[in-house]
A and B are shown apart, each in its own frame.
Chain A
Amino acid sequence: MVNDTGQLYTMEGVAAGLIMLLTAYIVISTTSVYTPGDTHITDMQLEQLGSDVLAMMDTPDTETGVSDLEVFVDHNNATGFEATFLDYCNATTGGAVDSLHMSATIYYQDGDEVKEYLFVPADDSWTGRESAVRATRWVQLDERSRGPPLDDRARAVLVEVLIWRD
């Protein structure tokens, strides 16, 4: 008599446990909530940073000065451009250096066609499968003897920078 009741208590515990586990299994197997990881947040942050950096490179330090960006593009100074860009976009307030990489291309118009030339090539960290973003900036070049590919006329060119994190 006493033994019987005892067993029943245990069985009830087992029954209750089984019911709950079964329900949990059914519930979990049927509710598949999977929101695709919001990669767009990092894209947004990088894009904003890239636009900021280009805008700041395009801001002359003095009222009468010429912006760094314009000088780099006008004189085809790719190393200067790359160094300044990476300096600006990798700087943090804590002193640590971020690990962003870039490549840059310049688009210009030549006889009704939009042509491009690689301004700053990508470094070794580029595999083609990075989650990259693009930031762009217009540069107004004055008329000046410049040599190919941009000829002498005054022109507007578009600098496009591809940014990715290592």
Chain B
Amino acid sequence: MEGLNEEGQWIVLMGLLVAVAMFFLALIVNQSALVGQTTAEGVLEFPKNDIRDLRTEIFDCVDEFGDTVDADVKKDIVVISLERKNAVVDFSVDPEVEISGGRWLHPVKIHYNNGVTVYDETVYY
């Protein structure tokens, strides 16, 4: 009789314990199923390379035309940006001004908006 009472019971009880543990585990797993937005999506969403590329292109324009940027080229950039990059782009180049260090540079205003990221910059180039 002690064989049954003291040794047989715990096999069933252990089984029960494991079962209950699994139940709780399942509840926890269910709770934590949702994960947030991943880093990769965040990186893809943020148009870092687009903005850098646009800046380089605008500086190339300034190199070529100075402050009288060719209207056709500006239109190229604005229209193609909207069509292919889905971004509203605007930029303007002002005549050179003297900045510290006695250098004469063009103030270049760049505006970029693709509905998720808005980027505005005035850079002296």
Q: A107 near B83 (CB under 8 angstroms)?
A: yes
The interface residues of chain B, by DSSP majority, are classed as helix
Contact with A along B22-61 (1 / 0, CB 8 A): 1101100110010100101101100001101110110011
Which stretch, B71-79, B92-100, B103-111, B113-121, touches the partner chain A?
B71-79
Closest to A158 in B: B80
Q: A136 near B64 (CB under 8 angstroms)?
A: no
What's the least CB distance linking A16 to chain B, in Å? 3
How long is the Cα–Cα vector from A132 to B35 in the complex, in angstroms? Answer: 25
Max count, chain B CB within 10 A of own CB: residue among A8, A31, A43, A156: A156
Q: A20 near B19 (CB under 8 angstroms)?
A: yes
Q: How many residues of B contact A (CB 8 A)?
A: 47
Report the contact-size class of chain A (Cβ under 8 Å from the partner): 35 or more
Q: B19 near A43 (CB under 8 angstroms)?
A: no
Q: B35 near A35 (CB under 8 angstroms)?
A: yes
Given contacts A44-B43, A158-B80, contact A15 B12 (CB under 8 A): yes
A residues near B53, Cβ cutoff 8 Å: 51, 55, 136-138
